[in-house]
Amino acid sequence: MNYKIPEFTDKDTLIQNLGPCKYDSPLSQHYDETLFSTDDDRILYDITYHGTMKSIKEGKALPSFECAGPRKKIFFNPATTKAGIVTCGGLCPGLNDIIRNVVMGLTHAYGVHRIYGFRYGYAGLVPDGNHEPILLDPEIVSNIHMQGGTILSSSRGQQDTATIVDTLQRMGIDILFVVGGDGTLRAAHEISDECNLRGLKKSIIGIPKTIDNDIILLDKSFGFESAVTEAVKAINCAHVEAKGAPNGIGIVKLMGRDSGFIAAYASCASSEANFVLVPEVPLVVDGPGGFLEALRKRITSRDHALIVVAEGAGQNLFTDSAGVDASGNKLHNDIGKYLRDRIKADMKEHGIDATIKYIDPSYIIRSIPANAYDNSYCSHLAHNAVHAGMAGKTGMVVAMCHRVHVHLPLALIATARKRLNTNSELWRGVIESTGQPLAWGKSE
C-alpha cells in the first residue's frame, strides 16, 4: 500500500488569528530581532525539486506552512490571561514533559500564573465528570518529566462540545492546550469552531500525541522515539528466548493500530526479527507463499524464528468485528494470540516440536518516561505551543515538518491518517533485514 496525503492548497494551510496583536511580548526584554518569527515566515511542504518546479511552471502557489516561534507582538495580556491544558487518549512517553514545559513557558516567559490542568481528558471539562481542575505552577510540575504517564490522567470518549465551551467561558480560560491524537484533535477543532460561533476570543492549540506516529504531515510524533527504543529491548529479549530452546519461536506484539511504524523502526534497529507483520501489508497465513509456509522453512533451516507483529496487522483474517472503543475508534481482533495459536497448531500438524514464547509489552512501553530525544522534542513543541497561544493563534497544532516547527490547521491534519509507505526506504530496510517477501501468498 502506498501512503498518500490528500491534496491541499496554500489556502488550506492558513492559520486563524483571534485579532490584532497589541501587546509587546515580554520576551522583547531578552531577545533580539533575529529570535522572533513572523506570520510571513513559511516553509514549503513539498521540498522536492520535481514537485516544486512543476508548481512554478504551472504558476501555482506552493503549499507552505507558517513557521512557529515567538512573536514580537502578542494578542493576550499576560497579566490577565488564564490558560488550561488537557491530555486525552492513551498514554504515551512525554506527556508530563509537555505539561511541564507548557507551565514553565507560560510562567517564566510570559508571566502567566493562572494555569489549570483539566483531569481525565475531556471528561474534566464537563460538570458531570466531577473532576475538579488542578491549579498548576512550576513547583508542582518541576519533576514530573521524570515520571511516565500524565499527572492529569487521561480518558477516552466524546463529550458535548457546547458544554466544554461553557466551562471555558465560565472559568475565563483564554488559551486551551489540547494534547491528544486524531480523535482528540478533531474534537479540538469542534471546540474552536464553537468558540468562533459564539464570538469568543479563545485560543485552542493542539499538541499532536500518538505513540503510533500516524498523524499526517508530521515528521514524527513525540514519544515515538522512546517507544521504539523500548520496543527494541523487547525484541532482543524475545530473540534470546527463541534461541534458548529447540525450534524456538518468539512473537512480539507492538502498538500500531493502523500504521506499522513502531514495528518497522524497532525491527530495523534490532536487526533480529525474521518476520515483520504490519497493517499496510495484507497477511496471507495459509497456502503457497503464505506466512506459515515461510515460518516452517525458517525453523527447518535455522532452528529458531522471531516474529514482530503490529497490533493492527492481519485484520483481513477475521470475519467478526471487535467493536469500537469509547472514542469511536475501531477495535482490532488480537492478532498476536491468533498467530500464537495458528503457529502452534501448524507446527504440531507438521511434526515440529516448537517452543513458542508470546510477548506483549505494549502497556510497559507506553507508560515509560520519555528518553533524552523526546525530552528535548517535547520542550520545543510545548514552548512553541505557548508562543502560538499567546499570539492569539487558534484552531491549529504545533508540529515538526522537514525538521522545522510549524503551525498546522486542525482541519488539515484531520483529513487522513499517516500510514507506512511500502515503497519507502524504511520498508525496504525491513525487507532487506528480514528476507521476507514483499507480499504474502502466491499462486502456484
Which positions are catalytic?
212
User: CA torsion sign, 239 to 242 to 244 to 246?
Assistant: negative
Check: CB of residue 379 under 8 Å from CB of residue 104.
Answer: no
- What is the spatial distance between Cα 233 and Cα 241, in angstroms, rounded to a whole number? 12
The count of C-alpha atoms lying within 13 angstroms of the C-alpha of 365, restricted to the half-sphere facing its C-beta, is 28
- What is the spatial distance between Cα 303 and Cα 92, in angstroms, rounded to a whole number? 36
User: CA torsion sign, 156 to 158 to 160 to 164?
Assistant: positive
CA distances to 41, 52, 72, 174, 400 from 49, rounded to whole Å, are 20, 5, 34, 42, 21
Enumerate helices (H) and strands (E) in the chain, giving the number of each. 14, 17
Supply the angle between the helices 182-197 and 161-171 in degrees, to the nearest 10. Answer: 60
The count of C-alpha atoms lying within 13 angstroms of the C-alpha of 5, restricted to the half-sphere facing its C-beta, is 15
Nearest Cα to 74, choosing from 206, 207, 203? 203
Check: CB of residue 148 under 8 Å from CB of residue 369.
Answer: yes
For 94-198, where are the alpha helices, taking DSSP H only? 95-104, 110, 138-141, 161-171, 182-197
- What is the spatial distance between Cα 151 and Cα 115, in angstroms, rounded to a whole number? 14
